[in-house]
Structure 1
Amino acid sequence: MSEFTEAMAFRHACKKFDIEKQIPQEEFDALLEVARMSPSSFGMEPWRLIVVRKPALRKALKSACWNQNQITECSELVVFTTDNDTVRSGTPYVRKMFERRGLPQDAVDTYMGVYKNYLEPIECDEVLLENWTAKQCYIAMSNMMTYAATLKIDSCPIEGFDKESVEAILDLEYGHSVAVICAFGYRVNPQSEQKRLELKQIVQYR
């Protein structure tokens, strides 16, 4: 198998982390860089990552995350948040993200128009906007988890949490919301056998 397919076979939702084993800072920095380099819709990079290391803060988060042990036992805990108001159509942030491509002003204006036409039906509903920005976070998280597996670092994506409680504990700014949480570290128990549908069950050719 290639290194990538080996990583896919290695990766699983690790439920029990070795509390004595920490990810080297250099390797964790590389994981964060993978998130930074990940693609996003229109290149807006709506994600903002919070690395939670303080034991007291993790303990508080655990109670808001269905008391899952991964929250306090993992080596690194990454909370993916979204900056929803910043990516609304017409904001200076959006224009800056298009201008950084070095395009002529008329091309930037064209992109701003295309973006507005796409986003207006979404941003009129806060839930739709949060769903759209959260999708981008999942791309970054998925890339982090797969790259982590190439380094033999385990991970566990966590969606089981009380969103409002987590946001209150982290004291997020207005307009920011929690999309998903991911724990990284090293497994204690052997990996269970992967169960997946056959390719023919999930793929159609038309």
Structure 2
Amino acid sequence: MQTFEAITSRRAVKHFDPEHVLTADEERELLSLAVLSPTAFNIQNWRFVVVKDKALRAQIRAAAWDQAQVTDSSLLVIMCADLKAWEKEPERYWANTDQGTRDILLPAIDNYYRGKEQTQRDEAMRSCGMAAQTLMLTAKSMGYDSCPMDGFDFDAVGKLIKLPEDHVISMFVAIGKATKEAHPRGGQLPLTDVVITDTF
């Protein structure tokens, strides 16, 4: 499927075939492409929690207003981020570059994030959002559908997945074989309403 087609045909699907299972190769392909998503300073701060345990999925569904896609999708990915990824062996993010590049970037990473908790959180959400879109478009290109989700109790889900204190949850992405088409698009605003040239 071409990129343009994947973008125009991707919709938030709520009904999935609970019997369908992604192959190990399909799952690996999805996640391997998701980790090519951009992150500032290449810190790769996203963490993809793939929930496979059925009992855990049922508990997460209860914390997500009983939304069926939590348990019925073939793949449930909880998009998380390590808020402190920037300071955890940052040299590994630039291991394939020359020493001169590392000498510039490593102090820049530290300077950008240290003591700036809001920046760390903002970066986590940006990174997860881009990776989630990569997952959804890849899924569509593979013939699957998806549903981005933020309708859940973040604290409850964090406890269920034993989220580390220095991590945050951004959203869920449910992926699978749709059994019912999404509703027609509600209506896109015209570009004149959302595109601003130079200044407001």
| TM-score (norm. length: structure 2) | 0.89
Structure 2 counterpart of 1:102, from 82, 97, 102: 97
Contact 2:84 2:120 in 1 (8 A): no
Q: Find the counterpart in structure 1 of residue 144 from structure 2.
A: 153
Tell me if 1:122 matches 2:113.
Answer: no
Q: Find the counterpart in structure 2 of residue 199 from structure 1.
A: 191
Structure 2 counterpart of 1:140, from 131, 144, 155: 131
C-alpha distance in 1 between matches for 2:19 and 2:106: 50
Give the number of equivalent residue pairs.
197
C-alpha distance in 2 between matches for 1:92 and 1:152: 37
Give 4+ residue runs of structure 1 displaced > 3 Å after superposition.
none
Residues 204 and 134 of structure 1, relative CA distance in 2, 3 Å threshold: closer
C-alpha distance in 1 between matches for 2:164 and 2:181: 40
C-alpha distance in 2 between matches for 1:3 and 1:192: 23
| TM-score (norm. length: structure 1) | 0.87
Deviation (angstroms), 1:67: 1.8
**Residues 49-128 of structure 1 aligned to structure 2 (within 5 Å):** 49-87=48-86, 91-98=87-94, 100-104=95-99, 106-120=100-114, 122-123=116-117, 128=119
Read off the aligned partner of 1:110 and give its amino acid letter: I
Q: Find the counterpart in structure 2 of residue 11 from structure 1.
A: 10
C-alpha distance in 1 between matches for 2:38 and 2:180: 33
Read off the aligned partner of 1:38 and give its amino acid letter: S
C-alpha distance in 2 between matches for 1:58 and 1:92: 30
Q: Find the counterpart in structure 2 of residue 131 from structure 1.
A: 122
Q: Find the counterpart in structure 2 of residue 23 from structure 1.
A: 22
C-alpha distance in 1 between matches for 2:115 and 2:89: 19
Question: What residue ranges of structure 2 are gaps of 5+ in the alignment?
Answer: none
Residues 121 and 173 of structure 1, relative CA distance in 2, 3 Å threshold: closer
Which sits farther off after the overlay, 189-198 or 5-14? 189-198
Read off the aligned partner of 1:111 and give its amino acid letter: L
Deviation (angstroms), 1:138: 1.0
Read off the aligned partner of 1:116 and give its amino acid letter: D
Q: Find the counterpart in structure 2 of residue 183 from structure 1.
A: 174
Question: What residue ranges of structure 1 are gaps of 5+ in the alignment?
Answer: none
Deviation (angstroms), 1:128: 4.5
Between the two proteins, what is the percent identity of the paired residues? 27
RMSD value, Cα: 1.9
